[in-house]
Chains A and B, each alone.
Chain A
Amino acid sequence: MGQQIESALRQSMHRVLVVLVSFLPGVLVFLLAVILLTAFGLLLAAIVKRILVAARFDERLASRETTGSPASISDWAPSHSPTLLIVRVILWACILLGVAIGISAIDASYSANSQLEQFLLPYLTHVLGAILLIFFGTLMARFLARSVLIGAVNAQLQYARFLSLGIKWLVLVLTAAMALDHLQIGGSIIEMAFGILFGGIVLTLALAVGLGSRDLVSRSIEKTIDKPAPTREPEPFPAAGETPRPKLRHF
C-alpha cells in the first residue's frame, strides 16, 4: 500500500517536472523574444525619429494639410506630432512581433501536450479581446459621461452630475459584463447580475430624474392644458409709460 502511494507520488511529481522542464524553455524564449524585439523596436524608433525630425516631417505634413480639414494625421497623433505617432507605431509593432514570436515558441515547446495548447492560446486571444473591450468601454464611458454632464449643465439641470455618473456606470457595468462574458467567467451569474445592476441603475436614474423634474413636468402639463393651440403667445403690450423689457440678443 505504502509502496503504491510512493510510486503514484513519484510518477505525478515526475510528470509535473517534465511539464515544467518543457514549459520553462518556452517561457524563457517568450521573455527573450519580447525583450529583444522591444530593444530592437526602441533602437529602430530612435533612428526613425531622428530621421523624421531632421527631415522636418511634421512641418512638411502640416503645410500640405488644408486648414480645417475634417481629419488629419495630427488629430490621431499624440501631442499632434505625426513623427511621434509613427515612432510609437514602430515601437509597438516590434513589441507585438516579440509577443507573437514568444507565443509561437511556447506553442512549439508544447507540441507534446495538446490539452494545454488547446486551452492556452485561444484563451490568450480572449484575454486580449477583453482588454480591448475594457479599454474602449472606459473611453466611451468617460466621453458619454462628459457629454451628458455638459449637456445637462447647459440645460440648467441641478442633478447634472448625478445623471452623468449614472451614464458612466451604466456603460462601465455593460463593459465589465461584456468582458467577463468574453472571458467565459461567471456564466449565467454574470448575465443575471448584469441584468439586475443595469436595471437598477436605469430605475434609479428614472426615479431621480422623474422626482427631480416633477415640478417641471407638472408645469409643462399645466401649460399644455391651459393653451391647447400650439400658437405662440403674443408678447404683452407694455402699459403706458412703461419701458418694454429688452430681450437678450446673443448674436
Chain B
Amino acid sequence: MSTSPMTEPTNAASPQQSGAIAAASSVGAPLLICLPSATAETVETMRERIASALQGHNLFLATPGGASAHAANGVTVVDYPVASRGDAAWALTSPDYLVAAQLAIEYDAAATLVLGNEAASLSVAGLQALAEAVLTGKADLAVPRYRTGPHDALVSSALLYPLTNALFGTPAHLPLPLDAAFSARMAKRLSTVARKPSNAAQPEPLIWPVAEACISSFLVKEIDAGERTLPQPADLDLNTLLAEIVGSLFGDIEAKATFWQRARAPMPAKPNVEPARTTSEAEEFEDVRAMVDSFRNAYTNLQEIWSLVLPPQSLLGLKRISRAPAEEFAMPADLWARTVYDFVLAYHLRTINRGHLLGALTPLYLAWVASHLRQCAGDAATAAFHVEETAAAFVAEKPYIVSRWRWPDRFNP
C-alpha cells in the first residue's frame, strides 16, 4: 500500500461551500458521498450515476479537485481535501474515514457514503440500498456484501469475516469494506478513532468500522450490493499485505479485548448448497496441489516456530493434514479456528516477534485456501457454505480464545 499525502480539511467552509451548506439547510439534512479515489475522468460518470440512483435527496459529492463547488442534476460537487490515490487505493483506510467524517460534520450530513476505488461498477440498487439503510433503516453503519465467486476475497473469507463475526457478533462478510455508509454519530466516532496515532510500521493505517460500531453499540447492517469489481492492490505481495491487514486486525482485537470477551456471537446461517460448477476440477486441482506442496514445505521448516505458538493438539492436527494426499487435503474448520486464535493470542503476548508471527501464518492461510478450493471445486454455493462453516467454527471455538486470553499459562490443551 502506498502512502498518500494527507491534509486535514479546514473547519471553516469556503464561500462556495458556505453557499452550498445554506442551500442544503433549506432542503433538509444532506447526504454526503465521498469519492476519495475518483479521478477527473470518473467524476462525471459517478455524478450522473449517483444523481439517478439517489433522486430526491440533497446530495453533496466530495471529490478530489472538486474545489469549484457547483450544483447540477441535484448534486453539489465539493472539494475533497486530499489528493486522489487513484488505482493505488484498494480498500478504505483511516485517512479516508477521517476526511469523510470531517466533511460529514462540516455539512451536517444525515448520512455519508464513502465509495472506494472502481465504485463505478457498484450497481444503482446497491448504492440506493446503502443510503437507505442509514437514512430510513436507522443503521449507523451499512457495509455492502458483494456477490463474489469462490476465488474472491479469500482473506476476508478465511480470517477477517470469521474473526469479526465471532468476536464482535456482527456478520459482516467484508469487515474491511470497499464502500461504506454511516450515520452522523458514527461519523463522529470514526473521526475520533481515525485521529488516534497509529502504528508507525503501517504505511496506510486501517480502521475496522464494524468493530468500532459494535463497541459503541451502534446498529450495523450488511447490505446485499450485488456485483462489483473488487480492486486489487497494485503491488500484490501477499506476505506483506497479509501481515499488514491481519496485524492491524489482531491489534484491533487486542485493543477491544474487554468488549469481545463479553459479547455473544450469533451462529452464522449456512446457505443451501446448489452445485453450479464454473471451472473444471483438473485446472483447479493444479492450484491446490501447488498450495499443498507449499504447506508441506512450511510444515517441514517452520515447526520450530509454530511450536512456540500452537499447542501440541493443533500441531498434531497440522501433521495429520500435511501427510494427507493433495486429493484429500482438507483443513478442518475447528483446527483452523483454533490456529488463528492461537496466533491472535501469540500476537497479544508477543510470544515471538510480531513480524515473524504474521509471516508464519501465511502458509497456514494458504493451506486453508487450498482446502477451500478443493472442497468447493469452483462452485460458488459450496464455497459460500464452506465460508459459513468456517465462521461457525470460529463462533463455536470462541470459549477457547477467551479462556486462553484470560489464563494463557493455565489453559493450554
Contact = CB atoms under 8 A, between A and B. Distances in A.
Interface string B274-309: 000011100100010000001001101110010000
Report which residue of B152, B201, B251, B301 has the largest number of chain A beta carbons within 10 angstroms of its beta carbon: B301
B352 A146 contact: yes
Contacts of A150: 302, 305, 356, 359-360
A249 B230 CA distance: 9
B367 to A, nearest CB: 12
A153 B255 contact: no
A160 B255 contact: no
A67 B257 CA distance: 12
A146 B353 contact: yes
A156 B369 contact: no
Nearest to B152: A249
Contact of A80 (B91, B152, B350, B378): B350
B412 interface: no
B233 interface: yes
B302 A149 contact: yes
A251 B353 CA distance: 25
A160 B363 CA distance: 14
Interface in A94-117: none
A248 B151 contact: yes
A67 B153 contact: no
Contact of B356 (A75, A147, A161, A250): A147
B301 A247 contact: no
Given A67-B255, A68-B251, A248 B363 contact: no
Interface string A58-87: 000000001111100001000010000000
Given A243-B278, A249-B232, A250-B238, A146 B305 contact: yes
A149 B305 CA distance: 10
B197 A66 contact: yes
A146 B356 CA distance: 7
A160 B378 contact: no
Interface string B147-159: 0011111111000
A2 interface: no
A69 B202 CA distance: 11
A149 B297 CA distance: 11
Contacts of B153: 249, 251
A249 B279 CA distance: 16
Given A147-B356, A246-B378, A251 B233 contact: yes
A70 B294 contact: no
A220 interface: no
Contacts of B150: 246
A91 to B, nearest CB: 22
A250 B359 contact: no
A158 B299 CA distance: 12
A143 interface: yes
A188 interface: no
Given A243-B278, A248-B154, A251-B241, A67 B196 contact: yes
Contact of B242 (A69, A147, A250): A250
Contacts of B378: 246
Interface string B217-228: 000000000000
A25 B90 CA distance: 74
A154 interface: yes
Nearest to A161: B301
Contacts of B233: 251
A243 B350 CA distance: 46
A66 B255 CA distance: 10
A106 to B, nearest CB: 41
A245 B356 CA distance: 33
Contacts of A248: 151, 154, 287, 369
Interface string B240-254: 011001000001000
Contacts of B359: 150-151, 154
A160 B230 contact: no
Contacts of A160: 297, 301
Interface string A207-251: 000000000000000000000000000000000000101111111
B209 to A, nearest CB: 15
B200 interface: yes
Contacts of B154: 248-250
Interface string A157-174: 010110010000000000
Contact of B362 (A68, A70, A154): A154
B239 interface: yes
Interface in A147-201: 147, 149-154, 156, 158, 160-161, 164
B93 interface: no
B199 interface: yes
A245 B283 contact: yes
Nearest to A146: B356
B301 A245 contact: no
Contacts of B200: 70
Given A143-B353, A161-B301, A246 B360 contact: no
Contacts of B251: 67-68
Contacts of B261: none
A246 B199 contact: no
B298 A153 contact: yes
B196 A66 contact: yes
Contacts of B279: 243, 245-246
Contacts of A152: 301
Closest 8 CB pairs of A and B: A70-B200, A150-B359, A67-B255, A246-B151, A68-B199, A249-B152, A160-B301, A154-B239
7 contacts: A67-B196, A68-B198, A70-B197, A150-B305, A152-B301, A154-B239, A154-B359
Interface of B: 90-91, 149-156, 196-201, 230, 232-233, 236, 238-239, 241-242, 245, 251, 255, 278-280, 283, 287, 294, 297-298, 300-302, 305, 349-350, 352-353, 355-356, 359-360, 362-363, 369, 378
Given A161-B301, A246-B279, A249-B151, 14 more contacts: A67-B196, A68-B197, A70-B199, A80-B349, A149-B305, A150-B305, A150-B359, A154-B362, A156-B297, A243-B280, A245-B279, A246-B150, A249-B153, A251-B230
